[in-house]
Structure 1
Amino acid sequence: MEKHKDGVDLDSILAELGQFGRYQMLTYCFIIFPILFSAVYNGQYIFAAADLNYRCKVPQCESSPPEFETGGWGVWAFPESGGRCEKLRPIDHTCTADAFHVNETLRCTSWIYERNHTIVYEFDLACEDWKRTMVGTVHSVGLFAALPLTSFVSDTFGRRTAFILTAVSGGVMGLIRSFSPNYIMYLVFEFLDATLGSGVYSTGFILALEMVGLNRRVLGGNLISCTFAIGQVVLALVAWAIPDWRTLTRVLYAPSLLFVFYYFVIEESVRWLLSKNRKAEAARIIFKAADMNRKKLSPESVKQLTQEEEKAEEPNVEILPNTEEKKKPSLFLTVIKSKILMSRLCICSFWWITVTFIYYGLSINSVALAGNSYVNYILTSLVEIPGYFISVITLDRFGRKRSIMTAFIICGLALISLPFIPTGLQWLLTSLTMLGKLCISMAFSSIYIYTSELFPTTARHRMLGVCSMFGRIGSIAAPQTPLLMAYMASLPYLVFGAMAGCAGALMLLTPETLHMRLPDTVEQAEKIVAMSRNKHPSDIE
């Protein structure tokens, strides 16, 4: 174990505290609630901007008040397309079978809606599906913008500060959005909601795991992932009970204002405090955790936490003006010059685009499946949980490549087969969709680990960040996939399946990293493919 620059061996101290004691459990109990709400806010637009049944308004035929059902006159007033966006041109102002041209149509300018609970009715978005799907795209763009903003606040002002700010800010933006008088204001605050509030997941994840022992990080990570899945279930249940988008938004977002009180109950990350040379605060939290966990720290650990670091007096050394320092090549140039690392970066980026595109695409399109849209969304959310646990089991038993490749291939086959299933077999259609979501959830949780193992320590964080940023392309494009149904009902699933198959095939071009230590240098990362399973990279010459 390496000691921190303050002389504190935090990993050893955490082992003495207990891998997952009472203090960690209490911390998790507080953290999982904002993360649950982050899942709710991440998917609320799927129901708030859901499509509605509507038809063209035909003034001379409408009852008072107008009703969605035509009562039979729609047969001669609407074309064969059904009268959703076009109607037959009237000859006169009567409503009879011979009062409309048979072959001439008009573009509708007003509509009658079957229901009035989404923004499609509120802002009159009939026959403008791109405006409806744009809500999801704007939300995903906000997620992209949140990456640098949240990381800056977290690294500069602390994990706890970033966690509380993002948890509360999202609630404020959502409540303001619920009073939107027009479509533009709705989009603006949808973007601000995602930009200011979506970072609660990443900061909560870091805050939770930085206080958990090494042997419980996988468990801790899966608990948070499962909480996110449960949050999606909560969203569907509440939306089912409260369909009106304004009321739904207020009910979902109002509780977030209470997270401001977390300032008094959540402690800062000890690792962050030590990185900022705030050793006394870190020691106070560690002693508090030891007391709650009923653990006694060793004298050596207590000494590390309480003793001031001795600063050796450095001798004065005259620096010669002609002394030349060896300049290290920039990380960017090093990666660019390495064909192997550039190839991996491109492949990993495609994986990240694929998993985000399919993951969010299946969630969004689940409400368009036959049957109850709320039940479909609940099923696609719950099926993620076994996917997360399967990834934990298979990654260490069968290896990274085989596990992730199998997940991609099964996902692709399940989704590509959907167009060939008879419409009468609804249970089979739903089952294949659930299988696809399970496999892509498994791949999503696994690809994060595998990507980290393919790059050297000197470039790992940045390369992972690049892949994550490319992954946002998939989440930005996913809300637009329902538009493909206008050409073919199963076209989104064919695209999902094809991308999953390609991602699985690309696994053949990367090395296995099971039981291998993380490479520290570019040279070691390039030689991963030549290493034996249990040797350290430095052993390979």
Structure 2
Amino acid sequence: MKKEVNLDEVLVEVGEFGWYQVRIYGLILLPIFFSAVYSSQYIFAAAAVDYRCKVPECESNPPTFEINGWGPWAYPEDGGSCDRLLPLNDTCERGSFHPILTQTCNSWVYQNTDSMVYTFDLACEEWRRTLVGSMHSAGLFVALPLTAFISDTFGRRVAVIGTAVAPALVGLIRSFSTSYVMYVTLEFLDSAVGAGVYSSGFILALEMVGLKRRVLGGNIISCTFALGQAFVALVAWAVPEWRTLTRVLYVPSFIFIVYCFFLEESVRWLLSKGNKKEAARIIFKAAEVNKKKLSPETIRQLTEEDEIVQDKPETEPEKKKTDSIVLQVLKSRVIMIRLVVCSFWWITVTFIYYGLSINSVSLAGNSYINFMLTALIEIPGYFMSFVTLDRFGRKSSIMSAFFICGLSLVCLPFIPGHIIWLQTCLNLLGKLCISMAFSSIYIYTSELYPTSLRHTLLAVCSFCGRLGQLVAPQTPLLVAYMDSLPYLVFGAMAATSGMLMLLTPETLNTNLPDTVTQAENISVVPKPNQRRDIIE
């Protein structure tokens, strides 16, 4: 009886994480590293800068940020950021300004010229500064579905190369921005054309790794992203001026053009599209690089052309299923439930992740070091994901991460203010656990959907997750109603996500599903070592 190629069994023969996969990972990790840089650069390029009203009567030439003692009689009690006391004459003596009446400033003196806040004169318009981050997040709503369509239609390789190179051009042009509108427009475009490199690279890398090395591969990618975030703070510390910083960070990505000659397509995607010849070529190459010998049965399956024609013609209705992604999802109650549950998970992890990170650069001390530490604390979380997912299973590991995160954040606001070390520990524990959940959810979500829909449905979940990223910066406003409310919301969402884990199947030691039917039956699919007995 003729049967289709079982890629998971073939990968065992080829080597689940041999030198071929190491080389693929080496190529993919570099653009993922830079995607972390580009997702964080605006925090420093559009950093808040201290400024004060310019008082022509008192300024030196050129004016400096220091006020040299005249501030108390020239500025109102609020410090003189947006208003100054009304001048009574052209001198800068005590009594030369009205003691109460003020006037709105029309020019400012900035503490430094590094941020685009100075370049585009955004003093007293904080909303325009923070809009830069919002525009970057908004670009994700274009990037994720666009990249998913390209990836599932034209291939993972095309998606990775395109999203890796495009930001270099957009970022370079943005560094020459002549207006605020031009800057924020290009910030949106930067994210729209480049933010999908993480998901496309993640899937390309994961689809060529055996199931026993899937968690390891996923966590290597997550750690690379964390290192990229720390790297951007280090570079910004050394090169603080935003135009120069942007050029230093973006120009290196032009090198990804050469990936056209080195990066191979996903074998799993090729097989799903019926291109067995190209898939076989890559598998044989991988086996050669890994110094592995394929079994005669595997070689026969890969080389016999009749297998493609006679194993694939399924029925006409079956063929039409692959034509409509929306129809496949809507017809499957199981996939629909998973899609809703996964979307809520993603909203939760992004909401808490960014909610805890949002104020890192405003903490006491060096803002660059604070940001680096906030990024690097994620790595222990990813390590815990690696240790627990394959040992205790996906569900119990992720559920525990959600519950511990929720508990630590709910307890945090009730710790007395003088016990700073305990507050810090609970905050770091929450960040560590949500980082673990974030990394694990990427892997778990990828395992719940069939190959033909995997990137599209993963993108839908990630797309929904961006809602959490958009709302997270607004959580400080909740303090006006109750000091502990932001953390109570974080905790409630984490606990709810943990409970929703009960609605999805365990995917530990199961092969990646290639069809909707296989995905629906994950919970009853036999494990690889049992599969041969059932077939016989």
Smaller-chain TM-score bracket: 0.7 to 0.9
User: 362, 378, 381: which is aligned to 2:375?
Assistant: 381
**Counterpart code for 1:132:** R
Within 5 Å, give how 1:23-38 maps onto structure 2: 23-38=20-35
SS in 2 for 1:511: helix
Q: Deviations over 1:291-323 (max 9, x none)?
A: 1111111111111111112545999x9xxxxxx
**Counterpart code for 1:374:** Y
Q: Number of residue pairs matched?
A: 504
Deviation at 1:48, TM superposition (A): 0.5
Q: Deviations over 1:374-408 (max 9, x none)?
A: 11111111110111122343455381464133233
User: 478, 501, 505: which is aligned to 2:492?
Assistant: 501
Establish whether residue 249 from structure 1 lines up as the match of residue 246 from structure 2: yes
Deviation at 1:360, TM superposition (A): 2.3
Asked if 2 retains the 8 angstrom alpha-carbon contact of 1:391 and 1:403, the reply is no
Asked if 2 retains the 8 angstrom alpha-carbon contact of 1:408 and 1:501, the reply is no
5+ residue gaps, structure 1, are 318-328, 529-541
* d(CA) in 2 for partners of 1:269, 1:330: 25
SS in 2 for 1:60: coil
Residues 500 and 313 of structure 1: CA distance in aligned 2, closer, same or farther (over 3 Å): closer
Alignment partner, residue 440 of structure 2: 446
* d(CA) in 2 for partners of 1:85, 1:426: 34
**Counterpart code for 2:122:** L
Alignment partner, residue 96 of structure 2: 99
User: 350, 355, 361: which is aligned to 1:356?
Assistant: 350
Deviation at 1:472, TM superposition (A): 1.0
Deviation at 1:465, TM superposition (A): 5.0
User: 162, 167, 170: which is aligned to 1:170?
Assistant: 167
Residues 448 and 202 of structure 1: CA distance in aligned 2, closer, same or farther (over 3 Å): closer
Residues 180 and 525 of structure 1: CA distance in aligned 2, closer, same or farther (over 3 Å): same
* d(CA) in 1 for partners of 2:196, 2:89: 59
Residues 404 and 331 of structure 1: CA distance in aligned 2, closer, same or farther (over 3 Å): farther
Asked if 1 retains the 8 angstrom alpha-carbon contact of 2:82 and 2:105, the reply is yes
User: 384, 388, 393: which is aligned to 1:390?
Assistant: 384
Asked if 2 retains the 8 angstrom alpha-carbon contact of 1:383 and 1:434, the reply is yes
Within 5 Å, give how 1:13-412 maps onto structure 2: 13-309=10-306, 311=309, 348-395=342-389, 396-397=391-392, 399-400=396-397, 402-412=399-409
* d(CA) in 2 for partners of 1:455, 1:161: 21
TM-score of the pair, normalised by structure 1: 0.83
* d(CA) in 1 for partners of 2:442, 2:60: 58
Alignment partner, residue 421 of structure 1: 417
* d(CA) in 1 for partners of 2:335, 2:27: 40
Deviation at 1:345, TM superposition (A): 6.3
Alignment partner, residue 472 of structure 1: 466
Within 5 Å, give how 1:428-439 maps onto structure 2: 430-439=424-433
SS in 2 for 1:470: helix
Q: Deviations over 1:34-86 (max 9, x none)?
A: 11000000110011111011111111111111011101111111111111122
**Counterpart code for 1:174:** G
**Counterpart code for 1:511:** L
**Counterpart code for 1:469:** F
* d(CA) in 1 for partners of 2:182, 2:25: 36
Asked if 2 retains the 8 angstrom alpha-carbon contact of 1:50 and 1:120, the reply is yes
Deviation at 1:16, TM superposition (A): 0.3
Deviation at 1:216, TM superposition (A): 0.5
Asked if 2 retains the 8 angstrom alpha-carbon contact of 1:137 and 1:477, the reply is no
* d(CA) in 2 for partners of 1:122, 1:313: 63
Alignment partner, residue 323 of structure 1: none
* d(CA) in 2 for partners of 1:166, 1:238: 22
Deviation at 1:277, TM superposition (A): 2.4
* d(CA) in 2 for partners of 1:366, 1:521: 43
- 297-306 or 387-396, larger mean C-alpha shift: 387-396
Residues 208 and 462 of structure 1: CA distance in aligned 2, closer, same or farther (over 3 Å): closer
* d(CA) in 2 for partners of 1:161, 1:341: 27
* d(CA) in 1 for partners of 2:89, 2:442: 65
- 362-371 or 189-198, larger mean C-alpha shift: 362-371
Deviation at 1:88, TM superposition (A): 1.5
* d(CA) in 1 for partners of 2:454, 2:146: 20
Alignment partner, residue 537 of structure 1: none
Q: Deviations over 1:179-238 (max 9, x none)?
A: 101111111111111011111111111111111111101100000011001111111111
SS in 2 for 1:151: helix
* d(CA) in 2 for partners of 1:407, 1:449: 20
* d(CA) in 1 for partners of 2:297, 2:276: 16
Asked if 2 retains the 8 angstrom alpha-carbon contact of 1:415 and 1:436, the reply is no
**Counterpart code for 2:489:** A
SS in 1 for 2:109: strand
* d(CA) in 1 for partners of 2:453, 2:302: 31
Q: Deviations over 1:476-516 (max 9, x none)?
A: 2334567x49x87x96x852552233431553465276757
**Counterpart code for 1:190:** E
Asked if 2 retains the 8 angstrom alpha-carbon contact of 1:136 and 1:479, the reply is no
Alignment partner, residue 318 of structure 2: none
Asked if 2 retains the 8 angstrom alpha-carbon contact of 1:8 and 1:305, the reply is yes
Residues 201 and 463 of structure 1: CA distance in aligned 2, closer, same or farther (over 3 Å): closer
Residues 230 and 207 of structure 1: CA distance in aligned 2, closer, same or farther (over 3 Å): same
Deviation at 1:442, TM superposition (A): 1.7
SS in 2 for 1:139: helix
**Counterpart code for 2:207:** E
- 306-315 or 403-412, larger mean C-alpha shift: 306-315
Residues 301 and 334 of structure 1: CA distance in aligned 2, closer, same or farther (over 3 Å): closer
Residues 120 and 471 of structure 1: CA distance in aligned 2, closer, same or farther (over 3 Å): same
Residues 221 and 372 of structure 1: CA distance in aligned 2, closer, same or farther (over 3 Å): same
SS in 2 for 1:371: coil
Residues 157 and 291 of structure 1: CA distance in aligned 2, closer, same or farther (over 3 Å): same
Residues 238 and 497 of structure 1: CA distance in aligned 2, closer, same or farther (over 3 Å): farther
* d(CA) in 2 for partners of 1:426, 1:15: 51
**Counterpart code for 1:254:** V
Deviation at 1:9, TM superposition (A): 2.2
Asked if 1 retains the 8 angstrom alpha-carbon contact of 2:398 and 2:437, the reply is no
Asked if 2 retains the 8 angstrom alpha-carbon contact of 1:56 and 1:112, the reply is yes
